[in-house]
Amino acid sequence: MRTPAFFAIGLGFILMGAGLFALTLRKPGKDTVNPTKAQQREQVALAEENRKMRIAGAVVGGVGALLCLAMLF
């Protein structure tokens, strides 16, 4: 069952996971000295979204790594 197609799919999953993780590294918008409550809620929501995307990136990358490892053995 060693086919290059499955290895390529595994690499694709690893790259997708890295892309999701890279999206979480973006800087937030302008920092204000005294943010309003709406801006504070937005920052909290963005932090929660980033946490979920990092977890998703790690899971997708892990699946890709497992696929690549399965093709080596």
Q: Compute the chain's Rg from CA coordinates.
A: 18
Express as a percent the part of the chain with pLDDT over 70. 92
Task: Let me know: does 17 contact 64? Beta carbons within 8 Å.
Answer: yes
Answer whether residue 17 shows pLDDT above 90: yes
Dihedral sign for Cα 21, 56, 73, 1, please.
negative
Whether residue 67 contacts residue 6, with contact meaning beta carbons closer than 8 Å, is answered with: yes
Predicted pLDDT at 73:
79
Residue 1 pLDDT = 59
Rounded mean pLDDT of 3-30? Answer: 87
Crossing angle of helices 37-72 and 4-23, in 10° steps, is 160
